[in-house]
Amino acid sequence: MAKIMICDKMDQASIDEINSRWGCDVMTGQTPEGLAKTIGPYEGVVIRSATQVRAVAIDAAKNLRVIIRGGVGIDNIDHEYARSKGIDVRNTPAASSDGVAELALGMMFSLARHIHKANVTMRKGEWNKKEYEGIELAGKTLGIIGIGRIGQSLAKKAHALGMTVIAWDKFVEKSPLDFVEMVCCIDKLLAKSDFVSLHIPKADGFVIGAEQLKLMKPKAYLVNAARGGVVDEAALLEALKAGTIAGAGIDVWAKEPTDNQALIDHPNVCCTPHLGASSVESQERVGAEVIKVLSEYFG
């Protein structure tokens, strides 16, 4: 019998290797309650961002040794509860760093040069050359909230483009990169930055809410390719309507799939459906890291 259950889409070559080494069943689209009905026989469970492993499933996991999140954040797992039951929770923190960083940078380019708008209006037969005068990234200040693996990857790319990079991190005081200036507080970062990019796990409450948005420059842009729920979407929409900030790039949403059509439809929003790690290379690296973790448990 298969030892491993794979609950979300993964690189097929990695699935084939997992199946050949330990046996696996691919069972996608399960609710927490549905997972509780199927999880019992398995010793390992692999998820990405869609599946939620909650207490109801953990209680039903009679043979489970490890839950592996193919990605960075583990907020879709009741990880403390799982560990209290003797079940290890692991992730693959390095695999998607470059993919997410590149998406964040791509959103910055799109916002700065109105690519997201022009792509739509050109398809409508409009030639809005005069309306879409943009700005260059070189010489601008990028403020990174969270200077972990993804934040550092973005910092390196931005520095190579000639941007000034500053950062704030709740857990980091000394800069991990000699060209990144750590600032003392998030308020200072918001006030100084032309672009702000978030790379932090989901927190209790909003990291960026109405008060924080008021601190940003009116011509600044906010990018969230971190986790849904770290930015107050309602406050962001109001800030965009009021012109408090110039625009926003959003890849992650409080509810996924999102139903926040008003935010999607705002002309100064560049939006994507949680594509941060959706590159061929990131998927291959995630699969390889998952296999490496599985081999620690099952040989």
At 99-153, the pLDDT tens digits run 999 999 999 999 999 999 999 999 999 999 999 999 999 999 999 999 999 999 9
φ, ψ of residue 220 to 5 degrees: the values are -90, 160
Rounded to two decimals, what is the model's pTM? 0.91
* 1 pLDDT above the threshold of 70: no
Tokens encoding 84? 């209290």
Which phi-psi region, left, alpha or beta, contains residue 108 (left: φ > 0; alpha: ψ -120 to 50)? alpha
Domain with CATH 3.40.50.720 in the chain: 4-93+279-298, 97-271
Quote the mean pLDDT of the chain: 96
CATH of 97-271, one of 3.40.1710.10, 3.30.590.10, 3.40.50.300, 3.40.50.720: 3.40.50.720
Q: What is the pLDDT of residues 169-213, one digit of tens each?
A: 999 999 999 999 999 999 999 999 999 999 998 888 999 999 999
pLDDT at position 204 is: 82
Active site residues: 227, 256, 274
Angstrom distance (rounded) from CA 219 to CA 232: 19
Q: Residue 68's pLDDT band (boundaries 50, 70, 90)?
A: very high
Q: What is the pLDDT of residues 8-57, one digit of tens each?
A: 999 999 999 999 999 999 999 999 999 999 999 999 999 998 999 999 99
* 72 pLDDT above the threshold of 90: no
The whole-number average pLDDT for the span 245-259 is 97
Q: Cis peptide before 257, with omega less than 30 degrees from 0?
A: yes
Class of domain 4-93+279-298: alpha beta
Cβ–Cβ under 8 Å, residues 108 and 197 = yes
